[in-house]
A and B are shown apart, each in its own frame.
Chain A
Amino acid sequence: MAPLRPPPPLNNSKKRKEAPTNSQPNAPKRHKPTDHGQKTRDARTLSTQTTSKAFKNGELDVSAFVKSRAFEITALEEGMARSKKALNRRAFQQVPKELRRRTASHNVKRVPKRLRERGKREMADDNTPTVTARRRKPTAHMRLRLETVKKLRALGAKRNAGKDRVKPPVADPNGAAPKNPADSAPDQQQPVKTLAAIKARTPKVKQSLLATPPLPKAKFRKRQIHKSWLPTHLFHAKRARMTAPSASLWRFSIPLTPTAKSYRPTHRASHARGAVAWDMSYISTLQVEGREASLIGMLKALGVDEEELVGRQGGKWRQGRRVLEKFVFEREAPHDPIAPVTMMWCRDPAEQSAGTVEMEKRKRKLLLRVHPSAFYQLWEELLRLAKVAKPAVSVEDLRFEIGSLEITGPGGTEALLSALWPSHPIPGPLAKGDTAPTAMDIDSGSSNKNTVVEETWSALAGLTNPAVLPKNALLSFNVQDPRLHHPPRTIKLPRTETEQHKLLELIASWPVDTVQQHPELFDRKARQAASAKMPSQKAVNRRKGLAAPGEYPEPLPNDPQIPVLLYTTAPTNPDRGAPGRQSPKAGSWTLLVPWKCLQPIWYSLMYYPLSTGQQPRFGGLDQYRQSSFEAGKAWFPGDYPGTKAGWEWEYAERRKREAEWRKRPKGKRVNYKKVEVGEGGRGEVGVGWGCDWERLVGGPPVSHEGVEAAADAEKSGKSGDKSAKGVKTKAQEESQEPPQQAPPKLPHLTQLPARQALALLATPPTTTIKLPPHIHLPSALITIRLTLLTRGVPQPCARIYRLPSSTANPELRRQWLALLSSNTRNHTQKHGGKHAHPRNLPKTGHGLPQHVVQQRLAQSLLEPARAGEETYPACPGEEDLVGFVTTGSYDLAAGFGTGIGSLLVERVMGREEAGERHLCVVRNSGTGVARLGRWEVI
């Protein structure tokens, strides 16, 4: 309210702020924090007039009086208008985050309808330049393309005209009149008919050959030279961050993460409300065909446990009612782990009728799904095995023939149900809106046996968690083209208790097991027929237009019947989540369909209005990793550094982190050389930006170079003498070069399956362990899940240490164990989290009785040390390093930081003492504070 404050500028004629005029040249250049309230404050200040200004010469007269009032009126009115405008938000700013569009600022049609009028008015007020595609002046590049198109059109027209002229010599006196299409049609059809009579040889399917990606449209061909697109590429490319064109992932262009913020929404959608879907078509599919015995022998050779394959356990799987996911290994001596593989048998049509001998003789098909990073390894292994198998086994690459998607979350089943309309018209809730068929109905055979699967599927409405179905259950049937039912409508869900009961009964009896037909997805012909018969969008639209209003078009006999195969995946770990709290164990659906039929299904899913509101979300690779991390599952390849694919992934990640680190100026990046790693040591163990397995297995470099390790890394050009630094230096040298192949995996590094790891850990240290001879114990890794017991969040690359041994460093060990006694997560949670400790104890007894002060003092002494205090234990030394965290962050499902990592099994074997099961110390890379944690094998 300074009296002489000049009124603020009425309209902002200047766009830029002027440089401050009163800045002294020698003033310290300190960055001032941005004052976000300044604009509002300016807008709200009212201009005033002083008495001396208003009344010239100090005289009081009527006209000056009137003028001063008039000034006040204008000042107040202007002030009101200004402050209103400052608070005002444009129509397109008021839509929720997921509805915001960049174009909404200049195209009013992008604004939701209820705000459109306002938006239109605002644009008119603001004189916003609105451009429509029709009136836009083409850019230079576009103009060139348009000209080319024009030329090509002219050429094409000329050619067509020439063709027409050659065919029938039309003698039209009026000149070149347009030809009657009705005349020419029979002419053209004649040769077609004769051609159809000649039966073409059906091309033989080449087996044991790698599949080639489908030939893309000419328009998109150039962009898919070194990679292929997923069937839903166009959908994702508009909405997600894709892999860089130069750095495709596994020869695919894969969505990494949606453009919209999605970390927490993804968690919510997959656990609480909604659904998240992924296009998983990049997962490779293989088919092996042969006698059952030889196929099982093949799997045995790949290191799958025998009892899983042949015993009672695998019975349902062998009959094609369940899927099985197992880790496979190479057949040859080091038995390197390859990847987890999902396997499903093709169910035979004539299973019951055939005799035992016939059963053994007939050929069966087995579908294998494997991550693309391990595809070639598995492919070569399978080829090698197929050559030696007797009777013969054929291997087929179905990579670009079968696409897949995965959907999880409570609304996932519902969304899938609306997208997948079974081909056989059934009296289900989808078709007529009647009551769902009961398990009794389906069982008792009142309905046709052929449609049991379809009926069961339609009766699953209301299922929120596929994990309650029989584990790894498999369904297969044919569905209609989902575009006929687009846009999807919310399906009818069971509301009454009896309906819910029916659903439960159905799940319990699971009639699909007994009547599952031969899944047509295994049939090449069925797949191709479905893909070929897909009508054009134009045809679909015409049919929809002919249908009665509000009705879907009637199914026709020659509609495509898309074979689909659905199976559920449930999280394996039963004891998941924070102690004392049951966390939701959300299962997920995986859908396999012919590659070309996936895209329409995807669109139907994405636009399905969920009964709980909103639509299913889509996720990228990051979301997939997040969801498996929150489920406590290890993600292949990232969490399996013992495999070849995992090793390459880790190497790529390391390069990425290193580049990120190098990009920063020296003052703003972690100086790995100076990190305190405990026991007075300085310098990060190994490379700070990676999980340095070489260092872990090979031990520290020969000479005393623990300190210099990071220094070398920093001086990038310097390579030093290779012999002394070994593998690490080599890796660094390579890191300077442009992207290329990762260095070969450490020779014996391997990943043990959970069962073997548990057996090893359970053996008492005194007994000698009998191991399969190929396992080189000093470099065998186990995958673990990690929870921190006190505080902190493990990050990727965090170092995992075991507790120091009671002989080498008993004092440090005691200090760490003291933390365990009272300060565990359980304890703090009961008392309200991290702020529970009475830290603000009075130093001297101000107004407190003596005994209270003493009591508090005693309490403070008993309380465990906290990070940063002098008594907080230091990190154990490098001799106690056992592994690294490969994935770690704050876990939204658990409510605290957790991690997934790998340990060298030899270093943790036989180190357990009573009451300290699987304790470890975790230190994030580049930090000096270590935290107490507990791990478990997964």
Chain B
Amino acid sequence: MVRIKHRYLLVNILYPDAKYSPLRPAATAGDDIPYTVQFRRPSPDQMNGGLLMRLIRDGVVELFGDYGSGKIAGSLQVKYFSSATSTAIIRVSREHYRLVWSALTLTTRLPRPVDQPCVIQVVRVSGTIRKAEEEAIRRARLSIRRAEAAAKSSSVSIAGTIPTASTAAAAGDDDFDMINGIEDPDELGDLDDDDDG
């Protein structure tokens, strides 16, 4: 039996410009919020799956015209979007996922009701939603660990010591684990000559 095959893109949205952020730093902590936490800001409440969908569609139309939008229209779906963590899982047909990926990569600003500068990272491309979910979990775990470590170290540094080597080493590991754009290799027979982007 023929199965319709998809690709699932695990996506993170980053907000480089802090002044648009919906949240202000906690009053008590002041400047002590660690960088890892500031880097992965939550999205504003208006940002949701539908808006993300629109963003992708507009981006694909802009880049690839009617051809591209027609190709992805049938299969594009936002499977998961959590604004608190700015994580999304997007499904698209296997032949055309690069159109979506490029549209995401070239996005610099979220559309109208939000209207913020942003950077969208495709961190993982997988053939099953399960793998995408697992990757999201792994990353969430990592960032929890990092945030906790950073918070501890900052509290320690407030006390007057320099960051220890161990936390630095952990940060190094994290960097290795946070490589973006990991792609599932295609199966041997699946390679096709479509020049879809």
**Residue B115 at the chain A interface, CB threshold 8 Å:** no
**Residue A66 at the chain B interface, CB threshold 8 Å:** yes
**In the complex, how many angstroms separate the beta carbon of B1 from the nearest chain A beta carbon?**
16
Asked if A46 and B140 sit within 8 Å, CB to CB, the answer is no
Q: Chain B residue with minimal CB distance to A76?
A: B133
The 7 closest A-B pairs by CB, nearest first: A1-B49, A54-B84, A61-B26, A68-B84, A59-B26, A60-B23, A51-B42
Bound: A72/B22 CA distance, A: 20
**Residue B127 at the chain A interface, CB threshold 8 Å:** no
A-contacting residues, B110-135, CB 8 Å: 130, 133-134
**Residue B16 at the chain A interface, CB threshold 8 Å:** no
Asked if B85 and A68 sit within 8 Å, CB to CB, the answer is yes
Instruction: List B contacts of A2 (CB < 8 A).
Output: 48
B-contacting residues, A525-544, CB 8 Å: none
Among B48, B78, B140, residue most surrounded by chain A Cβ atoms (within 10 Å) = B140
Bound: A593/B21 CA distance, A: 93
A-contacting residues, B134-153, CB 8 Å: 134, 136-137, 140-141, 143-144, 147-148, 150-151
**Residue A19 at the chain B interface, CB threshold 8 Å:** no
**In the complex, how many angstroms separate the beta carbon of A8 from the nearest chain B beta carbon?**
14
A-contacting residues, B19-54, CB 8 Å: 21-27, 29, 33-34, 37-38, 40-45, 48-50
Can you list 12 pairs linking A and B with CB atoms under 8 Å apart? A51-B45, A58-B24, A60-B37, A61-B33, A62-B34, A62-B151, A66-B148, A69-B85, A72-B136, A72-B137, A75-B82, A80-B130
**Residue A49 at the chain B interface, CB threshold 8 Å:** yes
Knowing A59-B24, A77-B137, say if A48 contacts B37 (CB, 8 Å): no
Instruction: List B contacts of A847 (CB < 8 A).
Output: none
Bound: A70/B140 CA distance, A: 7
Asked if A60 and B21 sit within 8 Å, CB to CB, the answer is yes
Bound: A1/B43 CA distance, A: 15
**Residue A52 at the chain B interface, CB threshold 8 Å:** yes
Identify whether the interface residues of A are mostly helix, strand, loop, or mixed.
helix
Identify whether the interface residues of B are mostly helix, strand, loop, or mixed.
mixed
**Residue B8 at the chain A interface, CB threshold 8 Å:** no
**In the complex, how many angstroms separate the beta carbon of A74 from the nearest chain B beta carbon?**
9
What string of 1s and 0s marks CB contacts (under 8 Å) between A1-30 and chain B?
111000000000000000000000000000
Bound: A69/B12 CA distance, A: 13
Instruction: List A contacts of B45 (CB < 8 A).
Output: 3, 50-52
**In the complex, how many angstroms separate the beta carbon of A650 from the nearest chain B beta carbon?**
47
Bound: A66/B146 CA distance, A: 10
Knowing A49-B84, A53-B84, say if A73 contacts B26 (CB, 8 Å): no
Asked if B147 and A73 sit within 8 Å, CB to CB, the answer is no
How many residues of A sit at the interface, in one of the four size bands?
20 to 34
**In the complex, how many angstroms separate the beta carbon of B189 from the nearest chain A beta carbon?**
26
What string of 1s and 0s marks CB contacts (under 8 Å) between A63-93 and chain B?
0011011111101110110000000000000
**Residue A55 at the chain B interface, CB threshold 8 Å:** yes
Instruction: List A contacts of B130 (CB < 8 A).
Output: 80
Bound: A315/B24 CA distance, A: 111
Q: Chain A residue with minimal CB distance to B152?
A: A62
Bound: A62/B31 CA distance, A: 12
Bound: A72/B84 CA distance, A: 9
Asked if B83 and A51 sit within 8 Å, CB to CB, the answer is yes
Asked if B147 and A55 sit within 8 Å, CB to CB, the answer is no
**Residue B5 at the chain A interface, CB threshold 8 Å:** no
Instruction: List A contacts of B79 (CB < 8 A).
Output: 46
**In the complex, how many angstroms separate the beta carbon of A37 from the nearest chain B beta carbon?**
14
Knowing A54-B84, A69-B144, say if A60 contacts B41 (CB, 8 Å): yes
**In the complex, how many angstroms separate the beta carbon of B88 from the nearest chain A beta carbon?**
9
**In the complex, how many angstroms separate the beta carbon of A63 from the nearest chain B beta carbon?**
8
Among A46, A53, A70, A76, residue most surrounded by chain B Cβ atoms (within 10 Å) = A76
Asked if A73 and B81 sit within 8 Å, CB to CB, the answer is no
Asked if B81 and A48 sit within 8 Å, CB to CB, the answer is yes
Among A1, A46, A54, residue most surrounded by chain B Cβ atoms (within 10 Å) = A1
Asked if B42 and A59 sit within 8 Å, CB to CB, the answer is no
A51 interface neighbour in B29, B84, B147, Cβ under 8 Å: B84
Instruction: List B contacts of A60 (CB < 8 A).
Output: 21, 23-26, 33, 37-38, 41-42
Asked if A80 and B133 sit within 8 Å, CB to CB, the answer is yes
Bound: A50/B23 CA distance, A: 13
Bound: A760/B140 CA distance, A: 92
A62 interface neighbour in B41, B141, B148, Cβ under 8 Å: B148
Instruction: List B contacts of A77 (CB < 8 A).
Output: 137
**In the complex, how many angstroms separate the beta carbon of A69 from the nearest chain B beta carbon?**
4
Asked if B24 and A55 sit within 8 Å, CB to CB, the answer is no
Bound: A68/B143 CA distance, A: 11
Asked if B143 and A51 sit within 8 Å, CB to CB, the answer is no
**In the complex, how many angstroms separate the beta carbon of A686 from the nearest chain B beta carbon?**
51
